[in-house]
Structure formats: structure tokens, C-alpha cells
Structure 1
């Protein structure tokens, strides 16, 4: 299954602290929605209008409300400038359905949408619809691995407007040439959008400039990580839960010595302890066929949590490896056993809460803030 990785960069208009261009991204393992809007003008007012627009659109589209209804609601909400006769915010929405592998792009008064396949521009067929008396363009395509879809506000396409080299702005053709050139040098998509925004900032030095936002959607395989933490509450379900875990798609990790023993017994395999990996920071790691990593539980998870919170810099090898797997993954699925180890209780808690539950919850919270899809299943 493919997923749609979203990367973006933005800048504020010179003299403004807040960018008037906004983006809102919502995602699950089967669906990704990314909405970009450019508020009219700049500063706080533009930011409020564009943020309202992207939040409304992304929330409704993620909840499977039909496109026509979504844009009808938004266009009814958006005011129109009486002087210039244009909306106070434009909008582009990218919706990727991974189940059927279909990407839909909807544009309202949007300047730059570019699709590239194998480093070459691909023209998207657009269907025009009239919604609330305004023109809205719809495009659909089936992405293949490594397709790129770039969405940019006019702060990029009109950068440098009025200068001798770009009297009408940097322009769509120059943006496309820049992207194609950077792709030839194998520059990552995230670096490309950062480069384009910095380029716009450079070109705007001799002009009043504008807010700018560049987004790229990269279609690539979905990376899933499954982590089994602690033994199940009901021992009679050990075999069922182990087999279910083994059938889950993606990479697999065991956290906890007792948990590893359960997998050894059910699978009829032996965990090989690598004593060379022991250190003052953490116990040694284990190796088991079919698993990326076998670790001790509480110490390793505590180190990962403290590192993510910025409380700790030094990590044991097990924590380093687990953290790397987490940061590479798009989706992380925790299977957490409810069996409580009395040695893992925090005396500061007056009620009976297992430390592993707290750790998994806190790590999951941080991973979600980093844009990961995180699921927790207790057993």
C-alpha cells in the first residue's frame, strides 16, 4: 500500500511576523488530506482567513463529506473583496485514498499545482465545475511510487515581480525547470520545497514581497512498525495474541524480557542475546527471526521518551535502534499487555497505574505530534 508523505516550507512577508498562507494535514493509514490556502493580503487577517479555510476543508474531507458539499460550505463562508471582486482566500485540497490508490486534487483560484513522474511534468486533466457561482477545478489520477505533487501559493510564482530579471514574477515555467533540475541531482522533496521558499525570499529582496508556502506530496510505500510491550493479562490468550501479532503487516519489535519469553514459547524459537551490545546505558539487545529488534522494556522505553522530550541525550543501543524505527515509520501500532509487574509501579502515583501504560501513552502522544499515525491496543 502507498501513502502520501507531506512536506512543506513557508515564509512571511517582510515586516510581518505571521504568515498569511496556511496548510492543514490529516492522515490515517488509508487516507491523507492536505489543504493549502492563501489569505488575501498578509499578516494576522490573512492568516485567520487561510487557517479557517484549511481547517474547515481538511476536517470535512477527512470525514468523507462529498467535495461539492465541502466547497459549497466554504465558498458560502468566504467573503469577497468588494474592490477587487476576489475571495479573501483561495484553496487547494489534495485527497489521497490509499485503499483504491486514487488522488483527487481540487483547486479554487489556486496558482501552482504541478505533478511529476520520473522527474518529468505530467499534465493533469481538469474538470471544471461551478459551485456557488465560482469556478472550481477537479483532477484525479492514480499515483505510482515516487510520484510528486507540488502545491504552491503565489508568493512563490510571483516572487521577484517588478525586478529586471522577473518583471512578471518567477513564473510557473521557471518553477518547473527549478524542480526538474533539482530532481536530477537527487535532492529530497523536503529540501526542494525549502529551496523554493528560500529562493522566493531571495528574489523578493528588491520588492515588497509576499507570504509564500510550498508543499510537496510524495507517494511512497507505507512504513508500518508493530511493537508488543509487556505480557497479556490473560495467559490463556498468549498463543492467539502472538499469532495475531505475527500476521500484522510491517516491521515487528518486542519490548520486555517476559514478553520475549512468551514469543519464544509460542513460536518455538530462541532469542539470541547479543552481549556485545550491553552498556552502562541499557541492557543488551536480542535477536529473533522475524523481528527487527528484541529489547528490555521499561528502561528502553523510558530512554526513548526522555530523548523525545529533550530530557536526555545519551541513549543505549536498544533505545537508539527503537527510536530510529519509530521515526522512520508512518504508522506505529502498540500492542500493550495489561499484566502488571509490581516492580514497575511508580510510588508517586497513589492509584494503581502501570508505568508501562504511562510510558506508551506519552511516547504515543509525542509521535502523534510528529505526524505519525499511532494506534494502541491493550490485551
Structure 2
């Protein structure tokens, strides 16, 4: 299954403390919803308008409401400037349903939306629909690995407006040419958005310019990581749980000495211990056929938590490898056994506040705060 990385950069209009353009993102296991909005005017007023518009659109789309219904709701509530006769905010929303292999793009008065595959732009016919007196463009495509979708507010397309070099602004055609050049030279999306924002800053050096927000969606294979932590509550379920875990897509890591022994017993395979990874603050790691990594349990997980929380940098080799795997993954599935290790808890308290459970919950929280999808299941 595919997913997409989302990169964006922005600049404020000269003299303003905030950018009037906004982006909002929502993700789950199979769907990504992204909305970019440009608020009319500048500063705080524009930021409030764009934030409200992008947030409503993204939240409703992420919750599965039909695209047309979402935009009917937004356009029905979005006021029109009586002086200029234009909306107080424009909007582009992208909904990627990777389970159904379709991405839907909806544009309302949005200036720059371009799809690229490799170094070439892909042109797709757009359907024009009317909602009240407003015109909305809607189109879709099947996402492929290494496709790139570029979204930019008019701060980029109108950059340099009024200058001798670009009297009408930088323009969509020049953005396309620049984007093709960047992609053909394998420039990363994170650097692409920064490049365009810096370009807008240079072009606006002698003019007031406008708020600018540039976003890139880069499609790629989804990276899934599965962690088996601790024995199941019922010993008779060991075999079923191990077989189910091994059948899952994605990388697999086993945490805990007893857990590793269960995998050896069920699969008939041996864990190969790498003694070179032993250190004074961490046991050595192991590997098994079909398993990326086997680590010690609670000590390693505690070090992972402290590292992610910024409490410690000097952690063992196993914790470092585990942290790297967690940060590289898009979706992390924790399968946590309910069997109790008396050494890890106070026997006066209920098992669901055991040290293992708390550590896993805290690690999952930190990963979610960093934009990861983290699921925790107990067995």
C-alpha cells in the first residue's frame, strides 16, 4: 500500500507577524486528508480565515464525508467580500484513499495545483461543478510511487509582480518549468518547498509581496513496523499469536527475553545473539529468520522512551536500532502481551498500570505527536 509524505514551507507578507495561509493534515491507516487555504487580506485576520477554512475541510474529509457535501458546507458559510466580490478564503483539498487507490482533488479559486510523475507534469481533465453561485473544480488520479503533487498559494505565482522582470508575477508556467528542473535533478520535496519560498522572497525583495505557502505531497510505499512485546496473557495462545504476528505485512521486531523464547519454541528457529552489541548499559541484540530485530524488553523500551522524550542521549545499541526503526516507519503496531512480570510492577496495583504498559503507551503518544500512526493492541 502507498502513503504520502507532506512537506510545506511558508513566508509572511512583509511587516506581518504571521502568515495568512494555512495547511491542515489528518492521517489514519489508509487515508490522508490535506487542505491548503489562503485567507483574504493579511496578518491575523487572513490567518484566522484560512485556518478555519482548512480545518473544517480537513476534519470533515478525514471523517469520510463526501467531498461535494463538505464543500457545500464550507461555501455556504464562507462570506464574500462586498468590495472585491471575492471569497474571504480560497481552498484546495486533497483526499488520498490508499485502500481504494484513488486521490481526489478539489479546488476552489486556488492558484497553483500541479501533478508530476518523474520530471513530467501530468494533465488531468477537471470537472467543473457549481455550488450555489460558486464554481469548484474536482478531479482525481490513481497514486503511483514517486508522484509529486505541488500546491502553492498566489504568493508564489504572483511573486515579483510589478518588477521589470516579472511585471505580472512569476506565473504558473515558470513554476512548472522550475518544478520540472528540480525533479529531474532529484531534489527532495523538503528542499523543493524551501526553494520556492526563498525564490518568492527574492522576487519580492523590492515589492511588498504576499503571504506564501508551498506544499508537496510525495507518494511512496508505506513503511509499517510491528512490535511484539511480552508474552500473551494465556500461555495456550502463544502459537496463535506468533503465527498471526508473522503473517502481518511490514517489518517485525520482538522485545523481551521470554517473548523471544516463545518465538523460538513456536517457529523452531533459533535467535542468533550478536555479542558485539553488548554494552554496560544494554544487553546484546539478536536476529531470527523472518524477524528484523530481537531486543531485551523493559530496559531497552525504557531507554527508547527516554531518548524520544529528550531525557537521555546515551542509550544502548538495541535502543538505538529500535529508535531508528520507529522513526523510519509511517505506521507502528504494538502488540503487547498481558502476561505479568512481577519484577516490573507493584503487586498492590492493577496489572494495567504495569511499567511495560505505561512505557508502551508513552512511546506511542510521542510517535503520534511526531505525525506517526501508532496502534496498540493487547492480547
- TM-score, normalization: structure 1? 0.97
Does the 8 A contact of 1:3 with 1:29 survive in 2? no
Unaligned runs of 5+ in 1: none
Does the 8 A contact of 1:155 with 1:213 survive in 2? yes
Shift of 1:151: 0.6
Shift of 1:132: 2.0
Query: Within 5 Å, which residues of 2 pair with 1:62-73?
Result: 62-73=62-73
Does the 8 A contact of 1:335 with 1:378 survive in 2? yes
Does the 8 A contact of 1:224 with 1:331 survive in 2? yes
After TM superposition, where is structure 1 displaced by more than 4 Å over at least 4 residues in a row?
349-352
Query: Within 5 Å, which residues of 2 pair with 1:136-155?
Result: 136-155=136-155
Cα gap change, 1:350 to 1:288, in 2 (>3 Å):
same
Shift of 1:202: 2.1
Shift of 1:280: 2.6
Query: Within 5 Å, which residues of 2 pair with 1:74-223?
Result: 74-223=74-223
Cα gap change, 1:291 to 1:182, in 2 (>3 Å):
same
Instruction: Report how many aligned residue pairs link the two structures.
Output: 378
Equivalent residue number for residue 342 of structure 1: 342
Unaligned runs of 5+ in 2: none
SS, match of residue 303 in structure 1: helix
Equivalent residue number for residue 58 of structure 2: 58
1:300-328: CA deviation from partner (whole Å, max 9, x where unpaired): 11122112111112232111111111111
Give the distance between the partners of 1:202 and 1:260, measured in 2 at CA: 58
Give the distance between the partners of 1:259 and 1:135, measured in 2 at CA: 59
Does the 8 A contact of 2:251 with 2:291 survive in 1? yes
**More off after superposition, 350-359 vs 255-264:** 350-359
Does the 8 A contact of 2:17 with 2:43 survive in 1? yes
1:114-155: CA deviation from partner (whole Å, max 9, x where unpaired): 010121011121000001210000111112211111011111
Cα gap change, 1:259 to 1:217, in 2 (>3 Å):
same
SS, match of residue 249 in structure 2: coil
Q: CA RMSD in A?
A: 1.4
Cα gap change, 1:173 to 1:359, in 2 (>3 Å):
same
Shift of 1:350: 6.4
SS, match of residue 100 in structure 1: coil
1:251 aligns with 2:251: yes
Give the distance between the partners of 2:350 and 2:162, measured in 1 at CA: 67
- TM-score, normalization: structure 2? 0.97
Equivalent residue number for residue 36 of structure 2: 36
